[in-house]
Amino acid sequence: LIGLVTLLLLKINVDATLSDKPPCTFYFGQDVTKSYTTVVDVDVPNGFPTANLTFIHHSGPGSECLSPAPPKGCHRYYRVDYTEDCKPLGDGSLVDLAGNIDSQGIFDRASGVLKGCETSVKNFQKYCFGPPTDSPEQCACE
């Protein structure tokens, strides 16, 4: 019974901690969800320089926007703002990609830029965060 109570208290504490985590706008800018913008983490799962996967945090207008949650190492998060000439962001075809690994390779891992929209880039920012996952801290990822 004591073990069950301990597990229940731990779950309540974890849920409270996760619900206290700031939204993605806290980490990537207040306007991140209001424009033709993408955010990707190119250092999944273990951080720079050993990671080999890209996780999509935001995939344009109408998509979900997830806060960083790096499990290990220092992760590079690329926020890229595009002009309205970037058709895939405007037609809504990428809305459901946020919250997933970029298994199709549609983002350039070196820059975070959506492939096919390279000429539509108007701003590029790099953010670097490391653990803990429930309260990411800035780190040096040069």
pLDDT for the residue 7: 34
d(CA 11, CA 67): 21
pLDDT digits (tens, 9 = 90+) for 53-67: 999 999 999 999 999
d(CA 119, CA 3): 58
User: What is the pTM (predicted TM-score) of this model?
Assistant: 0.85
- Phi-psi domain of 32 (left: phi exceeds 0; alpha: psi -120 through 50; beta: other): alpha
Measured at the CA of 71, the angle between CA 34 and CA 35, to 5 degrees, comes to 10
- How many Cα atoms are found within 13 Å in the side-chain-facing hemisphere of 116? 7
d(CA 117, CA 72): 31
């809305």: which residue's tokens? 95
pLDDT of the chain along its 142 residues, tens only? 454 433 333 333 334 344 589 999 999 999 999 889 999 999 999 999 889 999 999 999 999 999 999 999 999 999 999 999 999 999 999 999 999 999 999 999 999 999 999 999 999 999 999 999 999 999 998 7
Helices (H), 44-135: 87-90
